[in-house]
Amino acid sequence: MARSPVSAHRHCAVSSLLRTPRLLAVAQRWNPANSHGAMQSARRWYIDEGVYGVRAKKAHAFGDFTEQEVENRLKHANLVRLTNEYKREGYRMAQLDPLGLAEHHSKATDAVPELVPERFGIDPQGKKGKRLYNLTGIVTMPQEPNPESVPVEAVLAHLQDAYCGKIAFEFMHLPDAGERRWWAENVERMAGQKSQDGGLGWISDARRRRLWQVLTKSEVFDHFMAKRFPNVKRYGLEGAESMMLTLDTLFEEMANSSVATTIIGMPHRGRLNLLTGLLKVPPRLLFHKVRGNAEFPEDGSVASHIIGDVISHLATSVELEYGKGTVRASLLHNPSHLEAVNPVAMGKARSKQLDLSKTSSNPCYLGDMVSSIIIHGDSAFAGQGIVMESLGLSALPHFTSGGSVHVIVNNQIGYTTEAENARSTVHASDVAKGVLAPIVHVNGDSPEDVVRATKLVWMYRDTFRKDAILDLITYRRWGHNEMDEPSFTQPLMYNKIRSRPSVAALYESHLTASHPDIVPAGASSALREEYTAFLDSEDKESSSFVPAADHLEGKWAGIVSASKWETNVDTSFPLESLKAIGIGSVAVPSDFQVHSRLTKFHVEPRLKKLNDGTGLDWATAEALAWGSLLAEGFDVRISGQDVGRGTFSHRHVMFVDQQTEAIHVPLDAFFASAAGEPHLNVSRTPSAGRLEIANSNLSELAVLGFEYGMSIDNPNRLCIWEAQFGDFFNAAQEIIDTFIVSGEVKWLRQSSLVMQLPSGWEGAGPEHTSGRMERFLQLCDDRFNVLDESGEPSIPSFSVAFPTTPAQMFHLLRRQMHFSYRKPLIVFTPKSYLKHPSVVSRLDEMGPGTSWQPIVADPLLTQSPQTVDRVVFCTGKLYFELAAKRKELGLDSQVALVRLEELCPFPSFQLLDQVVKPLQGTSRSVTWVWAQEEPQNQGAWTFVEPRLSKVIGDKILFSGRTTSAVPGTGVSKWHKREQEMVVGQPFLYK
């Protein structure tokens, strides 16, 4: 099978990097101490204590109070205490609700006793004489010409304006005193500079005109959709149009900073407004889709198995210009599962940043060039567990992308659920305090304050490279969708909403009254008529509109859409190079102290087996697969719980120094050193890839979503997620269903993500036994009647495999990068058999002339087919137990054992050629059996039974456990009895 252009290019590069005996000598003499902790600027190798992916944080120095400031604070301690209470409790007095429904919104200071000045011995009325305060080190008031002598009334008014207006802040929970001071100074400066040209809180007339235009166009769009498509669920933005101002401000701030790309994850609400407005998607595409057409070409250029998605899941990527700056904004596809896109956006942002970091000529930090914006609903932010899981990733070294801006479009209701039933906290944003994120609340009906609040949030993220939350408090003018009746359940709220002018109308009235030059007479109607006419013309053009397929551009230009499943992919690698990689995979600096048991039982045995060329175990084959891909220029990343060591203590791809706890990843450091060897001529070839070992937190849902996000960004990075036990994948079922197995058929987005699920019946009980193969096989869109059709293998959306040998695992992983297309892979892996002496491979099984085999047929079928009277099909580690039992029963010449290494796509043609045809010339009657460890209602049985029956043209018998609600028993003697039956029954069952 011909390689993809990308694969071919990478493969050729190996000739000067690894396909040479010289590298073996490099591996043998290399002293990693020479490069430990080094950075080579040509490749931007960051080896932070031996770990790629851990990048230094941007340093910030915010000085403590000076001696003079401390002295003044002591002198005015009562004002210090009151000021701190404003910082801590001021948000409780802020005017945040556009509808005025919240009871705590009151300007009376007795609504928040902590803010009563008299509690601190401060007389706000001046009854005891006018008091002047020196504000040095206490309050920032840039509008005061003499801050060392400010009347108490002015100080209190300033604190009210800064902390209790239509913007409110929560930052006193931050543990870093420098960050708290940064917030206080900027919040207070912003309040004092609203009328100062160029000041932090200043809004120019040009900006006001822009706000008016954005709000008006958003409203016109919703009105147009309501009139033209009254029966379409568009999930409009009416009531929350200020979300557009937030995003417009963020885009502009990014365009005028170092950020080149922003990744956006958002739900359905307001998505169409954003797409056709700020993100410049031609409305004709939307109207084309709304009228029942596909969002991709229907001329046959897109594979027939693509099914598309609904309008509220559309996506785009566009270059935006703001003044002299630009930023590429990429809105990701989203499923209907709220918040599921969050970790996907974070993963894609990190992938882009890592790629840019490797090629940038200037020192850079995570977040310098890429940022993510994640938009939430209020009920979903407080209610969906994936929110907290994703926030939990935000500061982890292998998952941070330099901080995300979170925008909660808070319409104060979730479908029909009010706040008191939607969360256990005052604000929807309160859960973010758990990860020490600052929170800014803002009244969505105050457009200029929305801009100010957004700028502060971005300033914090850009300064500290941490997550920040903007709680944009708005309302929803209609029901959950436009055909819903919200007053069934919220009559009082919707009485207020129906009588309330829109934010666009309110702001227009404000400008007309206070800034008539911005919106002169007739300008409003002219803008509305002009934009309505534009939308109308776009709708007329939609009837002849032909969408373009843009999914294989940029990094993906060398990848193709699969027209057929590639079965002869060359995944071999030169033996001498493999040997060099294997040696490098356990090499450490001379002063690095590896655990003595690892030296004895891991390092030394690997070196001996590599030298002998035999007995290679699972971990060695895995290291050789990764290393050979690195040599070809592919990046490799594995994440999950305990992946560096391996749940079953088999992998040890990273070592921990027993004296210092420094971490060293030999395989990655080996290629860093090899790239620096001048005699290898690497400068004339593509550089080696990087290996990232990302031990994750105890999350499946968010981490798997994060890895999917990384995988869809770059086709030349192999992303692997390994479950601690295969059983635990179901905590991430939402990501599997809505992204991994369906992303291509819905959105044309390919992924090479690998899910490794340790699976096998070993008496560990119901939740440490099964990767639940049946659930993945049920999702497979593998054609059942493939033999009756074109004679070509099916082209499923993903593959499912259960390799039984280390060499097969080697080829399977390499195949992921050498397909001309990209498909996710679900691979079930062994547990105790990872180090079993019978589960080993020879080095030459990975060398030239070898490749992945979808089935492993019994040699008996070709050597002595006339003696075979029973064929037992199986998959996974059960084969080794069956082989031992067959030998014990003396049935080696009568029973053929056939391993299905790959179940999806189902290997119909290989089974026909290698199993059925050899037996057709014999006169013996053959009994066909499917054997599995799983209960009959689980495992592969219901998937393979109709397919195997079709291939063999006969009935196939089932052998395995009886039906059960759980995979395995927790009673050891019952397990032993069941397993004896599972292993023995296939040879006796008739």
**Same domain? 276 vs 422:** yes
**Same domain? 231 vs 371:** yes
SS (H, E, C) 721-756: EECCCHHHHHHHHHHHHHHHCCHHHHHCCCCCCEEE
**Same domain? 185 vs 320:** no
pLDDT, residue 902, reads 98
**Same domain? 865 vs 943:** yes
> What's the CATH code of the domain at 317?
3.40.50.970
String of DSSP letters for 68-131 = HHHHHHHHTHHHHHHHHHHHHHGGGTS---TT---TT--S-GGGSGGG-GGGGT--TT-TT---
Residue 50 to residue 40: CA distance in whole angstroms: 14
Residue 5 to residue 1: CA distance in whole angstroms: 12
Residue 517 domain flag: yes
Size (the chain), residues: 990
Residue 852 in 3-state DSSP? Answer: coil
pLDDT, residue 165, reads 96
Residue 408 domain flag: yes
Residue 372 to residue 633: CA distance in whole angstroms: 27
Helices 385-393 and 341-359, interaxial angle, to 10°?
Answer: 20
Instruction: Pick left, alpha or beta for residue 613 (phi over 0 → left; psi -120 to 50 → alpha; otherwise beta).
Output: left
**Same domain? 139 vs 217:** no
Whether a cis peptide bond, with omega within 30° of 0, leads into 830 is: no
Residue 96 domain flag: yes
Q: What is the pLDDT of residues 858-916, one digit of tens each?
A: 999 999 999 999 999 999 999 999 999 999 999 999 999 999 999 999 999 999 999 99
**Same domain? 217 vs 187:** no
Question: Which residues constitute the domain of residue 938?
Answer: 855-987
**Same domain? 105 vs 215:** no
Q: Which of 528, 548, 568 is the last residue of a domain?
A: 548
Residue 458 to residue 249: CA distance in whole angstroms: 9
**Same domain? 968 vs 881:** yes
Q: Tokens 């027993």 map to which residue?
A: 658
Q: Which of 192, 216, 249 is the last residue of a domain?
A: 192
**76 near 117, Cβ under 8 Å?**
no
Residue 698 domain flag: no
For the chain, which ranges sit under pLDDT 50?
1-49, 104-106, 675-686
Full-model pTM = 0.93
Q: Which of 159, 192, 225 is the last residue of a domain?
A: 192
Residue 323 domain flag: yes
**Same domain? 485 vs 390:** yes
pLDDT, residue 55, reads 75
Closest CA to 279 of 234, 248, 242: 248
Give the helix, strand, coil percentages of the chain, each rounded to 5.
Answer: 45, 10, 45
pLDDT, residue 789, reads 57
Residue 801 domain flag: no
pLDDT, residue 8, reads 39
Q: How many domains does the chain have?
A: 3
**Same domain? 357 vs 418:** yes
**Same domain? 182 vs 215:** no
| Burial zone of 557 (CB within 10 Å; 0-12 exposed, 13-18 middle, 19+ buried) | exposed
> What's the CATH code of the domain at 973?
3.40.50.11610
Q: What is the pLDDT of residues 704-757, one digit of tens each?
A: 999 999 999 999 999 999 999 888 899 999 999 999 999 999 999 999 999 999
HSE-CB at 318 with a 13 A cutoff on CA atoms is 16
Residue 102 to residue 410: CA distance in whole angstroms: 13
pLDDT, residue 14, reads 40
| Contacts for 896 with CB less than 8 Å, ≥ 6 apart | 857, 858, 860, 861, 868, 870, 871, 872, 915
Residue 221 domain flag: yes
**Same domain? 218 vs 150:** no
Residue 563 domain flag: no
pLDDT, residue 678, reads 36
